[in-house]
Amino acid sequence: MMTLSPEQAARRRMYRRRRWTVGIIAVVIVALIAAAAFIVTTYVDANTGIHRSSIGGNGPAQNTGESNILIMGLDSRVDENGKPFPQAIYDQIHAEDASVGGYNTNVLMLIHIPANGGKAVGISIPRDDYVDFPDSPDGVDKGKIKEAYGDAMDASMRKLADKGVTGDDAYQQSRTAARQSTIKTVSAFLGGVRIDHFVEVTMAAFYEVAQAVQPVTVCLNHATADTFSGADFPAGVQQLNAAQAMAFVRQRRDTTSSDFDMTDLDRTRRQQAFMVSLAVKLKQASTFTDFGKLQKLIDVAKKDVALDDKLDLLSFAQQAQSLAGGNISFVTLPIDHYDTVDGQDVNIVDVDAIRAQVKDLLNPPTPTAAPSASPSSSSGSGSGSPGPSGSGSTPAPHPVYTDSSSPLQSGNVPCVN
């Protein structure tokens, strides 16, 4: 294993400072669904206002009618132009200021949308998986998968500076290089999977979207609190405002005196659960007919979301609406064991097993009969009576959901740890 020089280690710390992180996958679905719903009247505005960059070449051209979309959630405390957020946002999300946080992709999810309306799947990649870096930025050929973005950005910034390119031009070119390097890293890690599109989201986007659609219903198996994230939740069904939602998806430890133990995988499961709950809320609520809310979501997307230059929002509208209707399930890739490399805790994974699993997920067998109405015993959801509901319009959650290694099914508010 390669040991970093002191200079390399210092540069990497600048671009991947490990601080509190946030699960911001949910905002991607919200922003795209909002764009899909609002696109009839604001197509030109949305398609030209959202930040775009080239995805680069990665795999054969798509001609199957399916799409693989990589979701990248950054822990950066700045917007897509590198500018600080308003102080009120830092105060609400407990993120200090723009000087804190780097360019880790603390959320990485591949969303596979099959052709002909089949059920989509979201594949979460644990952020600390120790993987190969095909581009070897800064001469580093292995590291945590979340670090590929920051390492590539750092390498690009220095190369451009040597050529006399600085300022906003260098920053945007380096962000593009970082996205392309992350896409290449993920594609190689998953076994050469073609990635057709990407969606990148910054930290503030989650909070601002949550503000626009709050409250959102969630369900917890245990009462829990955490002084780091600000989480303080009872067990059971509850409705969260924007600040509480931020704490909900950030929490990865319990600081009470209970014996309840959380892990980073539990936080990933919460991110997935929040996406499902948010989709349920959007489907039931009047969001799609409230043009004020929809315009706010489009405005958030313009500031805090980046898309590849080939993703057309109009053609994506129907797919996004299908996801909002619950036509998606979520899995988290497994970890073999934990280790320490260059002083950092990493996830050691069985690459061959992961590639085989991903291949199966992206190429499910064609069903020969109508699916059974009863839930699968491996789905991870309870099969008893529906759990309690918060109000007459709140969907009943699954009564139990504790296994973060099992698929999470969409369509209903799930209970999670």
- Measured from the Cβ of residue 392, the count of other Cβ atoms closer than 10 Å reads 5
pLDDT on residue 165: 95
> What does the pLDDT look like over 274-303, one tens digit per residue?
878 877 776 666 665 666 776 777 777 777
328, 414 contact by CB (below 8 A): no
**Which segments in the chain show pLDDT lower than 50?**
10-27, 30, 33, 35-41, 370-392
What does DSSP say about strands 344-348 and 337-341: parallel, antiparallel, or unpaired? antiparallel
User: Can you say whether residue 96 is alpha, beta or left, with left for phi > 0 and alpha for psi between -120 and 50 degrees?
Assistant: left
Q: Which residues contact 128 (CB under 8 A, 6 or more apart)?
A: 144, 145, 146, 264, 345, 346, 347
What's the mean pLDDT when you consider all of the chain?
Answer: 76
**CA 264 to CA 107: how far, in whole Å?**
11
pLDDT on residue 302: 76
pLDDT on residue 340: 95
At residue 296's C-alpha, the angle toward residues 294 and 299, to 5°, is 115
29, 153 contact by CB (below 8 A): no
> What does the pLDDT look like over 319-351, one tens digit per residue?
665 565 567 888 889 999 999 998 999 999 999
pTM (two decimals): 0.77
pLDDT on residue 345: 92
pLDDT on residue 409: 74
**CA 349 to CA 353: how far, in whole Å?**
8
